[in-house]
Amino acid sequence: GVAGLGCEDVLLHLLNFVWPNVFEESPHVIQAVLDAVQGLVVSLGPNVILQYVLQGLYHPARKVRDSYWKVYNLLYIYAADALVMGYPSYSKLIAQEETTVNSYARTTMELFI
């Protein structure tokens, strides 16, 4: 494998080629795409894939939502504990309503909890 060997840019490029096939209808292609995404979760980390998935979870088209929820469920099953870091922190958004600068930093305590 190449996990942790500095090949993340190449794997992200591979993800960009695989990702449009998530909308295919053939069961063989769907399974191949989910297998590829599962391998990329291991090598890139679940939060990179989560950033792709969050864009389509609440899409108006049902077909798009169904495809994205399949990938999200795969992420949730295999890496639920690691996804906590990728979720937005609403407490900081409420405290920063006046400012236009968003802070996506997490404290060590938030990551520990």
Query: Tens digit of pLDDT for each residue in 69-82?
Result: 999 999 999 988 88
The pTM of the full predicted model, rounded to 2 decimals, is 0.76
What would the two tokens of residue 53 be? 């998935």
Q: Closest Cα partner for 2 from 46, 49, 42? A: 42
Residue partners of 33: CB distance under 8 A and separation at least 6? 18, 21, 22, 24
Q: How far is CA 53 from CA 33, 57, 67, 101, 105, in A?
A: 14, 6, 9, 24, 21
- Model confidence at 86, in pLDDT bands (50, 70, 90)? confident
